[in-house]
């Protein structure tokens, strides 16, 4: 029997007394095992505690004790549930309806919470060397951030104790990858954000089917999230509570655990995405012998009807979604989309690399998306979509930079902050990192095999980024090791996807710099070791759609015209003799890139030139980067690749 006397003696007001009494009474009824509508004395307002696997129940209980929510809602993923969450968010002012479309919503965030915060993202291991290579003395490590277990414990206690007081804790069971596929993994996210629930329902397979998998004893990744409405009760923007100053995103690979506080935005809060599918995912993949990568997956059929799949790694906001949904300008080609952001890949028993897209939706950058740049995305996103930080129109629609031609005349616009906007306003209408969150199944060119539990066979891997100078449209790796070197030495202009300011050319190996879950050197060794897993390794390429000419204009039209580059790659996969060696890799032989029907003049000499001065600088920058960031642990194969490149460039 609970100790009621202890409560009555504490000298509290009647109200606190009765609240505490109710609490104890609830706990008591639960302890008797008769009532299942409570957990640790907290009412469960949706879902049944009985359905929870004991391990899940224990995880939820532990965090009820920590976060002290008012109620618990176990998500079932149903439409009814979604509708009630949508209503709640409308009432709270978190989202508004977009009546121009079917079941579409617009969320405006706190302007201090608009992108991933890489500087506040940590991996927690016993030793720093498990997380990041040791940078040169006096140099700040840029390949991830390490936190010691004791410091993490303090950070979590400080932020999470009572952080859900007066609010609801949602329990989201979700699967990354088709439910039940041998390549899929399960997670349980606990969050106090209805926006996160609604978004996770789009981005992952969420709800009842996963609860059933868990009940059968499936393992899960623990994902704890709170927007962090500050304890003093003052919330600057009640429709979007967050705690930007204390935001922190933590990962514990040893426990398959993620803890995220303070932000409701994208990769910071939809924990299945970067936190699970990439950071924790890469550590699981390392252990289990596969690859978790920041890559789109597309299927491409050539005019002969031959179909292949390609995976491609570009940093955030560099056009993965556009490539994944490309409308080829070359006649007879067809592109189908498997995924636009993440690939989980492993070699099957026959040595074929196979990939699944662990996600269920697209969280794509809105600005720049138009009927010209990505008509397929435009056919995907105007139903069942949550837009975040785009501008809105007086006819109940959305607007962003690059969409001008799609807006009817006479329509007025409010910017992402809700202020009246015109093209003279002097600031962008949509936030540059504004997004659409939309179900993948709605994509008119979704690949028929996109949910194949065995994944799709990958024939080629592309690396790329925004390189305004020096880097040709496409080049081919000489072999697997050279390909790994190309991935390791990727650089790209920074974008609005994270907090970096200005257009710096940043090192972004494998487009994974913000997403490595473990030491980059170990990651490189892991990639190199794939050579021993198959005799049929995919070929590796580097592409750059963003090279600019002496006049400052893009040298290549991009978008659908990129099918010409894919065509050349497919012909290489068929062993066509259409490549020639250069110091940096194989580029198309003159005249071998199919430019028939291209409307614009393209200066192929400039587009494919490999300026010696530029490449000497590039080699120097790579050398410096390896010395400063990676140090002695750099795998010997990569060191040799750099040495060989340097020699080839020097003798150009």
Please, which of residues 486-505 interact with ligand SAT by CB under 6 A? 497
Compute the residue count for the chain.
652
Residue 145 contacts ligand SAT per CB under 6 A: no
Please, which of residues 362-391 interact with ligand SAT by CB under 6 A? 363
Among ligand SAT, Mn ion, none, partner that 497 touches (CB below 5 to 8 angstroms by kind): ligand SAT
DSSP string, 94-147: SEEE-TTSBS-EEE---TT--S--GGGEEEE-SSHHHHS--PPTT----S--EE
Our CB check for Mn ion shows the closer of 167 and 491 to be 491
Q: What is the DSSP letter of 504?
A: -
Tell me the C-alpha distance between 632 and 619, whole Å.
Answer: 18
Tell me the C-alpha distance between 126 and 313, whole Å.
Answer: 30
Residue nearest to ligand SAT (CB): 267
Give the closest residue to 106 by CA, choosing from 424, 366, 370: 366
Residue 495 contacts Mn ion per CB under 5 A: no
Tell me the C-alpha distance between 436 and 494, whole Å.
Answer: 21
Please, which of residues 459-488 interact with ligand SAT by CB under 6 A? none
Residue 266 contacts ligand SAT per CB under 6 A: yes
Residue of 242, 275, 318, 437 with catalytic role: 318
Q: Pick the binder of Mn ion from 68, 316, 434, 629 (CB under 5 A).
A: 316
Binding mask 341-360 for Mn ion (x = CB under 5 A): x-------------------
Tell me the C-alpha distance between 27 and 21, whole Å.
Answer: 10
Residue 274 contacts ligand SAT per CB under 6 A: yes
Q: Is 318 a catalytic residue?
A: yes
Burial 605-621 (b: 16+ CB within 10 A, else e): eebbbbeeeebeebbee
Place of tokens 């720093």: 128
Our CB check for ligand SAT shows the closer of 68 and 438 to be 438
Alpha-carbon distances, residue 45 vs 61, 201, 313, 532 (angstroms)? 15, 19, 42, 52
Number of chain positions touching ligand SAT (CB under 6 A) = 8
CA-atom Rg of the chain in angstroms: 26
Residue 116 contacts ligand SAT per CB under 6 A: yes
Q: Which stretch binds Mn ion (CB under 5 A): 201-209, 213-221, 313-321, 545-553?
A: 313-321
Query: Who's near 351: CB < 8 A, 6+ residues apart?
Result: 533, 534, 535, 536
Question: Taking the complex as a whole, how short is the minimal distance between the CB of residue 264 and ligand SAT, in angstroms?
Answer: 11
Binding mask 267-306 for Mn ion (x = CB under 5 A): ----------------------------------------
Q: Which stretch binds ligand SAT (CB under 6 A): 265-273, 569-577, 631-639, 642-650?
A: 265-273
Q: Which stretch binds ligand SAT (CB under 6 A): 245-253, 267-275, 326-334, 417-425?
A: 267-275
Residue 316 contacts ligand SAT per CB under 6 A: yes
Tell me the C-alpha distance between 345 and 183, whole Å.
Answer: 9
Residue 519 contacts Mn ion per CB under 5 A: no
Catalytic residues: 318
What does the binding site for ligand SAT look like in residue numbers (CB under 6 A)?
116, 266-267, 273-274, 316, 363, 497
What does the binding site for Mn ion look like in residue numbers (CB under 5 A)?
316, 341
């Amino acid at each position: 029997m609970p100790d009621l006397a202890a409560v009555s003696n504490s000298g509290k007001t009647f109200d606190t007394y009765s609240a505490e009494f109710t609490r104890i009474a609830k706990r008591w009824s639960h302890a008797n095992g008769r009532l299942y509508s409570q957990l640790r004395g907290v009412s469960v307002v949706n879902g049944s505690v009985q359905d929870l696997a004991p391990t899940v129940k224990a995880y939820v209980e532990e965090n009820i004790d920590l976060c002290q929510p008012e109620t618990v809602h176990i998500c079932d993923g149903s439409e009814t549930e979604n509708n009630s969450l949508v209503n709640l968010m409308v009432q709270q002012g978190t989202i508004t309806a977009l009546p121009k479309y079917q079941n579409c919503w617009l969320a405006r965030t706190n302007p201090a919470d608009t992108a991933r915060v890489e500087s506040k993202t940590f991996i927690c291991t016993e030793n720093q060397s498990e997380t990041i290579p040791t940078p040169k003395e006096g140099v700040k490590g840029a390949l991830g951030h390490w936190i010691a277990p004791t410091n993490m414990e303090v950070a979590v206690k400080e932020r999470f104790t009572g952080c859900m007081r007066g609010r609801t804790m949602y329990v989201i069971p979700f699967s990354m990858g088709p439910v039940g596929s041998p390549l899929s993994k399960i997670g349980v996210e606990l969050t106090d954000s209805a926006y996160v629930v609604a978004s996770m329902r789009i981005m992952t397979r969420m709800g009842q089917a996963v609860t059933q998998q868990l009940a059968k004893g499936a393992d899960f990744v623990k994902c704890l999230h709170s927007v962090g409405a500050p304890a003093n009760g003052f919330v600057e923007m009640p429709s979007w509570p967050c705690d930007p100053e204390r935001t922190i995103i933590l990962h514990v690979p040893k426990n398959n655990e993620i803890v995220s506080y303070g932000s409701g935005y994208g990769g910071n809060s939809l924990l299945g995405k970067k936190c699970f599918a990439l950071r924790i995912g890469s550590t699981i993949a390392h252990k289990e012998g596969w690859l978790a990568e920041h890559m789109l997956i597309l299927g491409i059929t050539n005019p002969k009807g031959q179909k292949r799949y390609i995976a491609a790694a570009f940093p955030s906001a560099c056009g993965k979604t556009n490539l994944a949904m490309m409308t080829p300008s070359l006649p007879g080609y067809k592109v189908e989309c498997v995924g636009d952001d993440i690939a989980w890949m492993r070699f099957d028993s026959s040595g074929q690399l196979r990939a699944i897209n662990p996600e269920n939706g697209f969280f794509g950058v809105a600005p720049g998306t138009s009927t010209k740049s990505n008509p397929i995305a435009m056919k995907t996103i105007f139903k069942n979509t949550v837009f975040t930080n785009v501008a809105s129109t007086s006819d109940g629609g959305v607007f962003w930079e690059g969409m001008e031609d799609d807006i009817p005349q006479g329509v007025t616009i409010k910017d992402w902050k809700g202020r009246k906007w015109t093209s003279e306003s002097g600031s962008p209408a949509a936030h540059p990192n504004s997004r659409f969150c939309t179900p993948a199944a709605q994509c008119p060119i979704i690949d028929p095999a996109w949910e194949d539990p065995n994944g799709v066979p990958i024939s080629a891997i592309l690396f790329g980024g925004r390189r305004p100078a020096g880097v040709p449209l496409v080049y081919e790796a000489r072999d697997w090791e050279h390909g790994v070197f190309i991935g390791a030495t990727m650089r790209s202009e920074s974008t609005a996807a994270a907090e970096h300011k200005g257009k710096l050319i940043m090192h972004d190996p494998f487009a994974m710099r913000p997403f490595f879950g473990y030491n980059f050197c170990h990651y490189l060794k892991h990639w190199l070791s794939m050579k021993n897993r198959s005799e049929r390794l995919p070929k590796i390429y580097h592409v750059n759609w963003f090279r600019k000419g002496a006049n400052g204009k893009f040298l290549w039209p991009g978008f659908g015209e990129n099918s010409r580059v894919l065509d050349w790659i497919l012909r290489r996969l068929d062993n066509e003799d259409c490549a020639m060696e250069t110091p940096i890799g194989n580029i198309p032989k003159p005249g071998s890139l199919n430019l028939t029907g291209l409307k614009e003049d393209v200066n192929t000499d400039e587009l494919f030139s490999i300026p010696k001065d530029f490449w000497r600088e590039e080699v120097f920058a790579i050398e410096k980067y390896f010395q400063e960031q990676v140090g002695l642990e750099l795998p010997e194969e990569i060191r040799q690749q750099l040495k060989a490149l340097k020699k080839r460039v020097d003798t150009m």
